[in-house]
Amino acid sequence: MEAAMERTYKHLGPAVVLFLAILALSLLIAPELSGMDRLIFTEEITGTLSEGEIPVIPEPRYYASGINDSYSRLRSWGIKRGEKQGQLPTADPGAPELLAKYNSLYLADTDKKTIYLTFDEGYENGYTSKILDVLYENKVNAIFFITGPYLDKEDALVQRMLDEGHAVGNHTVHHKSLPLLDDKEIEEEVVELDRKFHQKYGRNMVFLRPPKGEYSERSLSITSKLGYVNVFWSFAYDDWSVNNQRGWEYAFKKVTDNLHNGAIILLHAVSRDNAEALDKIIEYARSAGYEFGDVFELEKYARGDG
């Protein structure tokens, strides 16, 4: 019996080694799993944050380093929409003052009928080219907030964004919740993406959008000292769910029903609905007396220079 098992193992040994070698080689040459980015960025923002109708109740695990204090505590960006078009949304109590303290913003000049477009780019879903076409044809620029994987894979699209006058913003390397990181990790998530961006395109990022709209006074302080303007939003909706697209008419109505002065609109470029509705949204907004502002103005506005 023992002799038979020994002979079996003797023959299996080389086979196992060969199998492992083939497996390792296949992993090296196989294309990166396209679904990984989708998995990581499935929840770009939560329904609570986008709709602004359910109060956010922080859990103990959301306190950085286990410390429940106002400086380190994770805050989830939330707004209550206006009840009708033109009415300004209402942010969480104290949030606008906190953002202003650190050169951050969610609204621009509310005395002007000006709108600013921003797009979050966790991964490419095939619609960014169409979005760029529409923006080019309508002479509108936007901020595209990109992540590490997007920067690594989408050279042509990022170059086109720059060539056509858009701002490319920082959405961090790995899309981690910044308040849950220590000071050094926050800096690495933000600065490393900026460093790679500069190496590729010779420019630096100015605008930062915290992943999932999660922030703390500590994260605002650190990133502001690094020179970034944190850009939140005064309107967003649950457009990031690629399996829950409801047609361009839905996207059109959702956005146009919530137009207001100084709006900073967050749209996700993975949405088919957004790509198909964008041209009509721009046309309608202009017919209603709104204009689309140059997004680079937002830096001056946030820093009190505009």
What residues form DSSP beta bridges with 292? 115
**52 close to 81: Cβ distance less than 8 angstroms:** yes
Name the DSSP class of 44: S
Do strands 207-208 and 229-230 pair parallel, antiparallel, or not at all (unpaired)?
parallel
**CA neighbor of 255 nearest in space, from 231, 289, 272, 280:** 280
CA–CA separation, 119 vs 115, rounded Å?
Answer: 13
Q: Which residue has the tokens 């957004």?
A: 274
Residue 272's identity, in one-letter code, is R
Whole-angstrom distance, CA of residue 292 vs CA of residue 115: 5
Q: Where are the alpha helices (DSSP H) in the chain?
A: 2-29, 35-40, 47-51, 95-101, 128-138, 148-153, 155-163, 183-201, 217-225, 248-256, 272-287, 297-302
Catalytic residues: 120, 268
Cα–Cα distance measured from residue 294 to residue 306, given in angstroms and rounded to the nearest whole number: 12
- Measure the CA angle with vertex 215, ends 212 and 218; round to 5°: 155
Calculate the dihedral angle through the C-alpha atoms of 50, 54, 60, 64, rounding to the nearest 10 degrees: 30
DSSP string, 12-29: HHHHHHHHHHHHHHHHHH
